[in-house]
């Protein structure tokens, strides 16, 4: 009696086990669904990876382009700054040159300016020197002879005495008759204004030049 009971127990255990197995087996199709989806997912992830890498490549190219643009821009800025600096340096150098050479606009060298500054012109002596000029010039206003009137000549632009027919060389010389340019001119007029029709060899003595300039100044005031 006991053994029958026992075998019933075992068979009901067996049945329960089968039921459990059956239950497990029933869930089998559910487990196989993700397995079937795996290749698709893999494909998708490959595609995603490809898209991502393309995107990264695009972004990298764009970033490289931006960097190149930035480098170019920076180079342009550096170049502009350098040009500006050079221009400023040139301007500064010109300012310095002007400061060092106060007579730069007279068109004569520092040497001549210094030489003239060291001399004192004597108008009375200059009257005698002027006898060398008198065959062609007078100091009376408006009286042109072979050469133009030298009245008020200091401070005038070359070629500007009214009624006198100048050579092109003199008229277009661009010279202003300052004491310094006159001092340089009178040493050797044909060298200072190549092509001038003033047929006078010049005054080689610097003191004579300073004296005649003093005379011309005195006669004009
Ligand atoms: C032989 C004649 C002659 C003698 C001498 C002469 N000159 Fe002249 N001079 C001229 C002539 C001509 C001109 C005009 C030059 C020209 O147009 O190229 C001239 C021009 C000048 C000018 C420039 C005038 C201007 O308006 O641009 C000056 C300054 C001058 N002479 C000063 C003198 C002085 C100072 C002397 C004497 C030391 C002198 N000359 C002696 C004939 C002479």
Q: Taking the CB of residue 152, how many other CB atoms lie within 10 A of it? A: 16
Same domain, 135 and 208: yes
Same domain, 130 and 210: yes
Q: At 159, which CATH number?
A: 1.10.760.10
Atom of ligand 1 nearest to the CA of 134: 5
SS (H, E, C) the chain: CHHHHHHHHHHHHHHHHHHHHHHHHHCHHHHHHHHHHHHHHHHHHHHHHHHHHHHHHHHHHHHHHHHHHHHHHHHHHHHHHHHHHHHHHHHHHHHHHHHHCCCHHHCCCHHHHHHHHCCCCCHHHHHHHHHHCCCCCCCCCCCCCCCCCCCCCCCCECCCCCCCCCCHHHHCCCCECCHHHHHHHCCCHHHHCCCCCCCCCCCCCHHHHHHHHHHHHHHHC
d(CA 176, ligand 1 centre) in Å? 14
Which among 143, 147, 150, 161 is the best mutation to test ligand 1's pocket, defined by most ligand atoms within 8 Å of the CB?
147
Same domain, 213 and 137: yes
d(CA 81, ligand 1 centre) in Å? 51
Same domain, 183 and 163: yes
Atom of ligand 1 nearest to the CA of 199: 1
Q: Output the ligand 1 site: residues, CB below 6 A.
A: 132-133, 135-137, 146-148, 150, 153, 158-161, 166-167, 169-170, 177, 182, 186, 196-200, 203, 212
**Residue 3 placed within a domain:** no
Instruction: State residue 128's pLDDT score.
Output: 98
Same domain, 122 and 74: no
Same domain, 210 and 116: yes
Same domain, 116 and 49: no
Q: In this structure, which residue's CA is closest to atom 18 in ligand 1?
A: 196
Same domain, 168 and 215: yes
The domain of 140 spans: 106-220
d(CA 145, ligand 1 centre) in Å? 10
Query: Looking at the whole model, is its pTM more than 0.75?
Result: no
d(CA 149, ligand 1 centre) in Å? 9
Domains in the chain: how many in total? 2
For each successive 10 residues of the chain (221 residues), what is the average pLDDT? 51 51 49 64 85 88 92 93 91 73 64 97 98 98 98 97 98 97 98 97 98 97 83
């Amino acid at each position: 009696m006991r053994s029958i009971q026992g075998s019933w127990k075992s068979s009901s255990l067996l049945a329960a086990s089968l039921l459990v197995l059956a239950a497990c087996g029933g869930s089998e199709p559910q487990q196989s669904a993700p397995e079937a989806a795996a290749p698709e997912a893999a494909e998708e992830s490959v595609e995603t990876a490809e898209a991502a890498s393309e995107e990264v490549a695009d972004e990298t190219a764009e970033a490289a382009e931006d960097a190149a643009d930035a480098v170019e821009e920076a180079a342009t800025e550096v170049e502009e700054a350098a040009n500006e600096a050079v221009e400023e340096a040139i301007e500064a150098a010109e300012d310095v040159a002007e400061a060092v050479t106060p007579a730069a606009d007279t068109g004569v060298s520092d040497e001549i300016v210094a030489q003239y500054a060291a001399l004192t012109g004597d108008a009375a002596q200059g009257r005698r020197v002027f006898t060398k000029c008198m065959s062609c010039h007078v100091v009376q206003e408006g009286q042109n002879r072979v050469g133009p009137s030298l009245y008020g000549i200091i401070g005038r632009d070359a070629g500007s005495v009214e009624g006198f027919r100048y050579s092109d060389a003199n008229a277009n010389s661009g010279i202003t008759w300052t004491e310094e340019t006159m001092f340089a001119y009178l040493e050797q007029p044909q060298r200072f204004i190549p092509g001038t029709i003033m047929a006078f060899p010049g005054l080689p003595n610097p003191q004579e030049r300073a004296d005649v300039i003093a005379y011309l100044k005195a006669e004009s005031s």
